Amino acid sequence: MPSESEESQGFYEMLWDCPHCDTKGLLGKSQRHCPECGAPQDADKRYFPTPEQQKLVIDTAPPSGGADDGVQAPVVGGHVYEGADRVCPACQAPNGAKSKNCTQCGSPLDGGAEVAAKQDVPVAAPRHKRRLWPWIVGVIVVAIFAIWFFFIRKHSADVTVTGHRWERVIAIERYDDLHKEAWRNEVPSVVSNAPICYPKKRSSRSVSDGEDCHTERKDKKDGTFEQVKKCTPKTHNEDVMDDWCTFTVRGWGKISEAKAAGTGMVPGPSWPSPPEPDTAPEVLGNKRRGPRTEKLTLDFGPDDACEVVDTVWRRFADGAKAHVEVRSRSGGVVCDSL
């Protein structure tokens, strides 16, 4: 998961409109009173500048915060954040966090509430995403419950062993020209004929695609807001190609198998005895016995069985009770519990 990086792009002033003389776009930090009629600022009426208002300011940023036309919010140079404004309990005028008495009416600010933060509304907020995720979580919870209910839920029970089955297999191999496929770097150095290769996707790698960025504006509640640029790295997957080769190599290849099978613990499992020898010289056409495999099965009635290791297979006689876990839904024996 790519991590998100954050970069502050500086502090800007919030705006407010004078409700008494209708002057618009006054500055939240530097204009605590209306320059036209002197009315105090109402912190509840602060708002974020539109992107156009803000862009104008960034492009033609004046050195300090003059407010002639009322539509500007210059970068607050050297802004020292002292904390959220507090509202005067007597006259509701917002005051800086360090003020002790109201600059408007002189009343002590003890007990004055913090200014409420304004929420910036992103232009293209994908609102449906928020509504969708509870449904996704719900579906996942139901699916997990269903899997548990039908496949995992189990309890202990005594089941009767109704039969023992065994099967033993010896592979029969012939020394031959074997047709094989592999990536070029895995082709053995000694082959019967030159490998034939074609390009094929072997893996994929993540390739950087720059960044996905957006800006967020956070009300600092002192008449300014901070603009933060948030970026997440963007990537796309690219195929990594390689050569896939077919080739012929001389070696022992399985051509058939000899099988012995039976039921019951007595006389018990025995190996088949095919005519091929255990070993043979590496000469084209020679045959030999290859790897051996054994399969032991315990039956629990006609429809249920478990493949087990030798010690477990011999632990229970036919007709014996085995204390095991069974699936609550199907009644099937959980073979791992044997």
Positions touching Zn ion (CB under 5 A) are: 18, 20-21, 23, 34, 36-37, 39, 88, 90-91, 93, 102, 104-105, 107
Query: Min. distance of Cβ 70 from Zn ion in angstroms?
Result: 10
Residue with tokens 């082709």: 187
Query: Min. distance of Cβ 82 from Zn ion in angstroms?
Result: 18
Based on CB atoms, which residue is closest to Zn ion, 19 or 301? 19
Based on CB atoms, which residue is closest to Zn ion, 45 or 230? 45
Based on CB atoms, which residue is closest to Zn ion, 58 or 90? 90
How many beta carbons lie within 10 A of that of residue 298, not counting itself? 25
Query: Min. distance of Cβ 74 from Zn ion in angstroms?
Result: 21
280 near 176, Cβ under 8 Å? no
CA distances in angstroms from 39 to 11, 24, 106, 168, 226, listed in the order given: 25, 13, 15, 99, 26
Based on CB atoms, which residue is closest to Zn ion, 34 or 296? 34
Query: Min. distance of Cβ 43 from Zn ion in angstroms?
Result: 12
Residue 196 host element (H or E)? strand 193-219
Q: Tell me whether the omega of the peptide bond preceding residue 274 falls within 30 degrees of 0, making it cis.
A: no
- Burial class from Cβ neighbours inside 10 Å (0-12, 13-18, 19+) for residue 325 reads middle
Based on CB atoms, which residue is closest to Zn ion, 95 or 227? 95
Based on CB atoms, which residue is closest to Zn ion, 115 or 324? 115
Residue 87's contacts (CB-CB under 8 Å, 6 or more residues apart) are: 43, 93, 94, 95, 112, 113, 114, 115
299 near 163, Cβ under 8 Å? yes
65 near 20, Cβ under 8 Å? no
Sign of CA dihedral 56, 57, 62, 66: positive
Query: Min. distance of Cβ 121 from Zn ion in angstroms?
Result: 27
Q: CA–CA separation, 68 vs 216, rounded Å?
A: 27
Tokens found for residue 94: 């917002």
Query: Min. distance of Cβ 24 from Zn ion in angstroms?
Result: 10
Based on CB atoms, which residue is closest to Zn ion, 14 or 102? 102
Query: Min. distance of Cβ 31 from Zn ion in angstroms?
Result: 10
